[in-house]
Amino acid sequence: MYCVHVVGARPNFMKAAPVVRALAQEPGMRQSLVHTGQHYDQNMSDVFFRELEIPEPDFNLAVGSGTHAHQTGQIMMRFEPVVEKFRPDWVLVYGDVNSTIAAALVCSKLRIRVAHVEAGLRSFDRGMPEEINRLLTDQIADLLFTPSEDGNQNLLREGVPAERIRLVGNVMIDTLVRLLPKAAASLPQGLPRQYALVTLHRPSNVDDPEMLRPILQVLDGISHELPVIFPVHPRTRQRIEQLGFRAGENLHFWEPQSYLQFLGLQQRATVVITDSGGIQEETTFLGVPCLTLRDSTERPITVTVGTNVLLGHDLERLRSEVCAILRGQTKQSATPPLWDGHAAERIANIISAG
């Protein structure tokens, strides 16, 4: 059997790594890795292959950045010859980025079977490009691997046949479990005993100066009570520089961190403030309070079961939630079912049987 994995952005790498490893244990399995180049940055791409011990890509489509239409179209045009030449038994796509829907569309036209890893997640906000990618990919994929029961219910409600849906658990947690010991060893010296860890990159938070400026002001205020470590996404850094914002001495703007470094910082954090989807999951597993600056989440299990609190853009509530956490008032949480480090093994078993 021959499987092709398509990755294009930082979160894809964490999801693909355990699946590549699990499938390698299956007799007679051949695999190739296609990197679309959707994100290409030394801190956001190459280092991930080393840390996650993923083989170098067999194909790099080198698409680069651009509008959604340009990027999606370029991926389709460059990926199609690869699929036509090698005719794999399965193409595995991950998450909800443009590479995900582009590869799925190519395969559906060529009648190549597609498996979507992390299927069924819904924010119910079609203003998010990722939501469109999720909806369309799930309609054309042949196998849908869901991380939680709500994903199954979303797909069934949308008319996806039950026989195409498999609840397998969360592959990002597989990677976290395997690398957590290394993450602890990669922490920088001199970290404060307590700190807030921040990551922001979504357009709704960083593209509008009237939104970004008050967020930074609140983070600066929080830093008077609790040091704030903010590894800044390149896009966000550009916006901060355009604002001319000057941070206080306890609001620390850092360069982007590698996966291991950031995971170690999460594990030690007093609270994480984010707008990232994957971080909502990781903090839930780690038992670290997470405050999410978004109106909706495609990962509601992190709110209903985990440590996540959705704040929308209520910055006063952000202050009050941080204060409550400092007083030891944190929400009750648990680890969702099947977030046990073995999701990729379940995927490999299903793929190899089909």
Residue 236 to residue 186: CA distance in whole angstroms: 24
- 333 is a domain residue: no
* 42 pLDDT more than 60: no
What is the pLDDT of the chain when averaged over all its residues? 94
Residue 301 to residue 322: CA distance in whole angstroms: 21
Instruction: Identify whether the C-beta of residue 217 lies closer than 8 Å to the C-beta of residue 240.
Output: no
Spot the catalytic one: 70, 201, 233, 252: 201
pLDDT digits 0-9 by tens, 259-293: 899 999 999 999 999 999 999 999 999 999 999 99
Residue 147 to residue 117: CA distance in whole angstroms: 8
pLDDT value, residue 40 = 58
Q: Find all residues with CB under 8 Å of 188, minimum gap 6, and list them.
A: 261
Domain limits for position 253: 181-326
Q: Which residue has the higher pLDDT, 244 or 321?
A: 321
* 299 pLDDT more than 80: yes
pLDDT value, residue 52 = 85
pTM value is 0.93
* 300 pLDDT more than 90: yes
Residue 340 to residue 287: CA distance in whole angstroms: 14
pLDDT value, residue 186 = 85
pLDDT digits 0-9 by tens, 154-203: 999 999 999 999 999 999 999 999 999 999 888 888 899 999 999 998 88
| Among 83, 3, 19, residue whose Cα is nearest residue 347 | 19
Residue 40 to residue 43: CA distance in whole angstroms: 9
Let me know if 39 is a catalytic residue: no
- 176 is a domain residue: no
Secondary structure (H, E, C), the chain: CEEEEEECCHHHHHHHHHHHHHHCCCCCCEEEEEECCCCCCCCCCHHHHHHCCCCCCCEECCCCCCCHHHHHHHHHHHHHHHHHHHCCCEEEEECCCHHHHHHHHHHHHHCCCEEEECCCCCCCCCCCHHHHHHHHHHHHCCEEEECCHHHHHHHHHCCCCHHHEEECCCHHHHHHHHHHHHHHHCCCCCCCCCCEEEECCCHHHHCCHHHHHHHHHHHHHHCCCCCEEEECCHHHHHHHHHHCCCCCCCEEEECCCCHHHHHHHHHHCCEEEECCHHHHHHHHHHCCCEEECCCCCCCCHHHHCCCEEECCCCHHHHHHHHHHHHCCCCCCCCCCCCCCCCHHHHHHHHHHHC
pLDDT category, 46, cuts 50, 70, 90? Answer: low
**97/186 same-domain check:** no
Residue whose structure tokens are 């853009």: 313
**190/320 same-domain check:** yes
Residue 114 to residue 108: CA distance in whole angstroms: 7
Tell me the CATH number at 233: 3.40.50.2000
- 334 is a domain residue: no
* 45 pLDDT more than 70: no
Kindly list the strands in the beta sheet with 308-310, ordered across the sheet, starting from the edge strand earlier in the chain: 251-254, 228-231, 196-199, 271-274, 290-292, 308-310
Number of domains into which the chain is organized: 2
**153/202 same-domain check:** no
**6/154 same-domain check:** yes
- 175 is a domain residue: no
Angle at 140 between CA 82 and CA 56, to 5 degrees: 35
**231/314 same-domain check:** yes
* 233 pLDDT more than 90: no
**137/202 same-domain check:** no
**278/251 same-domain check:** yes
pLDDT value, residue 204 = 87
pLDDT digits 0-9 by tens, 66-94: 889 999 999 999 999 999 999 999 999 99
